C-alpha cells in the first residue's frame, strides 16, 4: 500500500475494479479446482477410497517420490549452473550484458514442445549425440539415452534455467558493491567476502529462482511424456493418463489434489516470507 | 572470484576470463536446441540425420500444402488474440485494484490471480473440462479462449503492476485535483503511463496461449486444434523434418512478437529512470 492511497478517497472505487477478474477467476479457476478436490472425495457418497488407491499402490507413491526427486535435482542443477552465469551477466557492462540477457530470454520464448522435440533429435538411438560419440570412438554401440531420467533431467534443466538466471541477475544487479569493498578493507579474503557478503546479499534471488523452478518442475508434463520412459513417469503424465487412457476421473482428481497440496504448500511457504510474486513484479 | 571492485573493472581481471568462458558455454547450451531444429528443417533426408547431407525447402512446402497446419495456425491466432484482449482487461483491472487500493484483501487476491502461473496446467485442465462440459461448451471455440485467459491473466497482472509501481500515484491525484473525473484520469494519465506494461503483458498472454498444450489437449476439438496440439500429435507417430519446418516458422513468429514485447519493456524502464 502506498502511503498516499490511505487518505485518497478514490481507493475504495479502485477496489471495485477487482470484481470482474474475481468473478471470472471464481467461475473458471476456483470452481474447477473445487470440483477436482470434491471429486477426489466422492464415489458413492463420501469416500477416501481414491486416496487409499493413491497411497497404497507403490506405483503412485513411487511417482510422487520420483517427481519430487526430479524437481529437487533439476532445481539444484539449475542453481549451480545459473549462479556463475548470473554473476557474469550482472557484472559485465554494455552490449555484452544486453546480448547475454537476450540469449537467456530467447529459449524462454520458444515452445516447450519444440524444445523437447529438439532434445529427442539429439538423444535418439541414431541421434546427434550417439553419432558423435560413435565417431569419436568413445562408445562401441549407441547408448540408450531417450526414455531415461537423464534425458528428462537434462531437458528440464535446459527449459528451466532462464527462470533461475533472471531473478538471480535482478538481485545481483541491486547489490551495493561498497559493502564488499568495506569487507575487503576490514581484511576479509575473497572466499570470505563471497560467502559472508555477496552470497548473503544474493539470497533473495536464490530463493525466488529456486521456488519458481521447483514449483514449475513439479507440474512438468511435455518433457517427461516425450523423453521419459514408462519406468520414470512424473505426476502430471500419470494424471493425464488416468483421464485419457483409463477414464478414471476420481483417481486423477485424487492425484491432482495431492499435487495441488504439495505445489500450494511450497508456494505459500515461499509467499509467507516474501512478497509472493517470485521476483516477477520487479522493485 | 573477487567481487570486490567497481563492476566496470571486474570482468577485466585475470581469472575472470574463466568465468566468461563458462558463461559463453552455458549460453551455447541454452541455444543448442535452436541450433538443431533450424538446420534440420532444411534437411534433404526424410528421417532425422544431423548434420543434414543436403538442403531443401521441401518440408516448408509440405507444411504449406497440408491444410491441417494452416488451419491450426489460423486457430492459434484466432484463439490467441481474444485471449490477449481478455487477459489485458482482467489483468489490468486486477493490477489497478491491488496497487491503487491495497488493503487486507489484496494479498490473497494477488495469490489467486498469480495462481495459474504456479499451478500445473494438468490440474486446471481436469477441473475446467467438466465445468466447460456442464456449460455445454465442450470442444467449442469459447472453451479454449476461457481456458487460455485463465493462464494469460497473471502475465498482464505482473507487467501492469510493475508499470503502475513505476510512476507515482500523485500524478493521478494531481489530475483529480485539477478537476478530471476518475474515468478521464484513467484514460488521460494512468493509461498512457502504463500502456507499455499493458501491451507487453498482452503479448505475453498471446505467446502463452500460442504455446500452451495441456489445456488445448482437453479443451480443443477437431475444429479448434492449435499448433502445439498438432505438433504433439505428429510427434507421437513420426519424427519428420516437417515438424522442424513448422517449428522454425513458429519460432520466427514468437521471437518477433516477444522482441516487440521486450522493446516495449525497455521503453518502459527507460521512462521509469
Mean pLDDT of A1-10: 47
Q: What CATH homologous superfamily does A40-273 map to?
A: MetI-like (1.10.3720.10)
Sign (positive or negative) of CA dihedral A54, A57, A60, A66: positive
pLDDT (0 to 100) of residue B265: 65
pLDDT band, very low/low/confident/very high, at A128 (cuts 50, 70, 90): confident
Judged by average pLDDT, the poorest of A1-15, A63-77, A86-100, A152-166 is A1-15
Q: Look at residue A183 in the predicted model and tell me its pLDDT.
A: 86
Per-residue tens of pLDDT for chain B, all 273 residues: 444 444 444 444 545 788 889 999 999 999 988 888 888 888 877 666 666 677 888 888 888 888 888 899 999 999 999 999 999 999 999 999 988 876 778 888 998 999 998 899 999 999 999 999 999 998 899 999 999 999 999 999 998 988 888 777 788 888 888 888 878 888 888 888 888 889 888 988 998 899 899 999 999 988 899 999 999 988 877 777 888 888 888 888 877 877 777 777 666 555 444
Q: What is the mean pLDDT of chain A?
A: 86
Instruction: Say what the pLDDT of residue A206 is.
Output: 93
Is a pLDDT exceeding 70 seen at residue A276?
no
The answer to whether A274 faces chain B, any CB pair under 8 Å, is no
> Which residues contact residue B178 at a Cβ distance below 8 angstroms, ignoring those fewer than 6 apart?
none
**Chain-chain contact of A92 with B11 (C-beta, under 8 angstroms):** yes
Q: In terms of Cα–Cα distance, which of A187, A193, A168 is closest to A91?
A: A168
- Residues B48, B171 contacting (CB under 8 angstroms): no
What's the DSSP call for residue B9?
A: H
How much is the pLDDT for A6? Answer: 43
Q: How far apart are CA B212 and CA B194, in angstroms?
A: 27
Average pLDDT over residues A11-32: 89
H or E, element range at A200? helix A199-201
Q: Does A226 touch chain B if contact means CB atoms closer than 8 Å? A: yes
- A68 at B interface, C-beta within 8 A: no
Structural domain spans, chain B: 7-58, 61-272
User: For chain A, what are the domain ranges?
Assistant: 40-273
Distance between start and end Cα atoms, chain A:
14
Q: How far is B140 from chain A (nearest CA, A)?
A: 15
B236 φ, ψ to 5°?
A: -75, -15
Confidence (pLDDT) at A224:
93
Please, are residues B260 and B243 in contact by the beta-carbon 8 Å criterion?
no
Q: Can you say whether the dihedral through the CA atoms of A173, A176, A181, A184 is positive or negative? A: negative
Cβ–Cβ < 8 Å for B149, A24:
yes
Nearest one of A272, A220, A235 to A65, comparing CA atoms = A235
Cβ contact, residue pair B102, A112, below 8 Å = no
Topology at the third CATH level for domain B61-272: MetI-like fold (1.10.3720)
Residue B220 sits at φ, ψ, to 5 deg, of -100, 150
CA dist., res. B10 & res. B4, Å (int): 8
Statement: residue A280 has pLDDT above 70? no
Distance from CA of A155 to the nearest CA of B (A): 10
In angstroms, rounded to a whole number, what is the distance separating the alpha carbons of residues A164 and A151? 20
CA distance B22 to chain A (A): 7
CB A25 to CB B22 under 8 A?
no
Rg (CA), chain B: 23
CB A96 within 8 A of CB B16: no
Query: What is the model's pLDDT at position B64?
Result: 86
Give burial (CB, 10 Å; 0-12/13-18/19+) of A247.
Answer: exposed
- For the residues A195-224, what does the mean pLDDT come to? 91
Phi, psi torsion values for B37, nearest 5 degrees? -70, -45
Residue corresponding to grid cell 576470463 = B17
Amino acid at each position: 500500500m502506498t502511503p498516499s492511497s490511505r487518505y485518497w478517497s478514490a481507493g475504495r472505487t479502485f477496489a471495485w475494479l477487482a470484481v470482474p477478474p474475481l468473478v471470472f477467476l471464481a467461475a473458471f479457476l476456483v470452481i474447477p479446482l473445487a470440483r477436482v478436490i470434491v471429486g477426489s472425495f466422492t464415489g458413492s457418497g463420501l469416500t477416501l477410497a481414491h486416496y487409499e488407491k493413491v497411497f497404497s499402490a507403490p506405483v503412485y507413491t513411487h511417482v510422487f517420490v520420483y517427481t519430487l526427486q526430479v524437481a529437487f535435482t533439476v532445481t539444484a542443477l539449475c542453481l549451480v549452473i545459473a549462479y556463475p552465469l548470473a554473476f557474469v551477466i550482472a557484472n559485465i557492462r554494455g552490449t555484452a550484458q544486453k546480448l547475454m540477457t537476450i540469449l537467456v530470454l530467447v529459449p524462454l520464448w520458444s515452445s516447450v514442445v519444440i524444445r523437447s522435440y529438439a532434445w529427442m533429435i539429439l538423444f535418439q538411438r541414431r541421434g546427434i549425440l550417439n553419432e558423435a560419440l560413435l565417431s569419436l570412438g568413445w562408445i562401441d554401440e549407441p547408448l540408450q539415452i531417450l526414455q531415461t531420467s537423464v534425458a528428462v533431467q537434462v531437458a528440464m534443466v535446459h527449459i528451466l534455467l532462464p527462470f533461475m538466471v533472471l531473478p538471480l541477475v535482478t538481485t545481483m544487479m541491486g547489490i551495493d558493491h561498497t559493502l564488499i569493498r568495506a569487507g575487503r578493507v576490514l581484511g576479509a579474503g575473497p572466499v570470505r567476502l563471497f560467502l559472508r557478503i555477496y552470497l548473503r546479499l544474493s539470497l533473495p534471488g536464490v530463493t525466488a529462482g529456486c521456488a519458481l523452478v521447483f514449483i514449475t518442475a513439479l507440474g512438468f508434463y511435455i518433457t517427461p511424456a516425450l523423453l521419459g520412459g514408462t519406468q520414470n513417469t512424473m505426476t502430471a503424465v500419470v494424471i493425464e493418463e488416468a483421464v485419457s487412457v483409463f477414464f478414471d476421473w476420481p483417481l486423477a482428481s485424487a492425484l491432482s489434489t495431492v499435487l495441488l497440496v504439495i505445489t500450494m504448500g511450497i508456494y505459500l511457504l515461499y509467499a509467507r516470507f516474501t512478497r509472493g510474486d517470485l521476483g516477477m513484479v520487479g522493485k | 572470484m573477487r567481487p570486490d571492485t567497481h563492476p566496470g573493472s571486474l570482468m577485466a581481471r585475470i581469472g575472470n576470463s574463466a568465468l566468461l568462458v563458462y558463461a559463453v558455454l552455458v549460453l551455447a547450451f541454452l541455444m543448442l536446441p535452436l541450433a538443431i531444429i533450424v538446420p534440420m528443417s532444411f534437411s534433404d533426408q526424410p528421417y532425422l540425420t544431423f548434420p543434414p547431407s543436403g538442403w531443401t525447402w521441401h518440408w516448408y512446402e509440405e507444411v504449406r500444402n497440408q491444410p491441417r497446419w494452416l488451419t491450426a495456425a489460423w486457430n492459434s491466432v484466432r484463439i490467441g488474440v481474444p485471449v490477449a484482449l481478455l487477459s489485458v482487461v482482467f489483468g489490468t483491472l486486477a493490477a489497478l485494484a491491488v496497487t491503487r487500493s491495497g488493503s487486507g484483501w489484496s494479498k490473497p487476491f494477488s495469490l489467486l490471480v498469480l495462481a495459474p502461473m504456479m499451478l500445473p496446467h494438468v490440474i486446471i485442465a481436469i477441473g475446467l473440462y467438466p465445468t466447460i462440459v456442464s456449460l455445454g461448451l465442450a470442444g467449442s471455440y469459447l472453451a479454449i479462449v476461457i481456458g487460455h485467459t485463465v493462464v494469460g491473466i497473471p502475465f498482464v497482472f505482473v507487467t501492469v503492476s510493475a508499470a503502475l509501481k513505476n510512476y507515482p500515484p500523485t500524478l493521478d491525484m494531481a489530475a483529480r485535483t485539477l478537476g478530471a473525473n476518475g474515468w478521464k484520469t484513467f484514460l488521460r494519465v494512468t493509461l498512457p503511463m502504463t500502456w507499455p506494461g499493458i501491451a507487453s503483458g498482452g503479448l505475453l498472454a498471446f505467446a502463452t496461449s500460442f504455446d500452451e498444450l495441456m489445456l488445448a489437449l482437453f479443451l480443443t476439438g477437431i475444429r479448434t486444434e492449435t499448433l502445439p496440439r498438432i505438433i504433439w500429435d505428429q510427434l507421437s507417430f513420426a519424427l519428420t523434418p516437417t515438424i522442424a519446418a513448422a517449428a522454425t516458422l513458429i519460432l520466427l513468429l514468437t521471437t518477433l512478437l516477444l522482441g516487440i514485447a521486450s522493446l516495449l519493456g525497455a521503453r518502459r524502464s527507460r521512462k521509469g529512470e
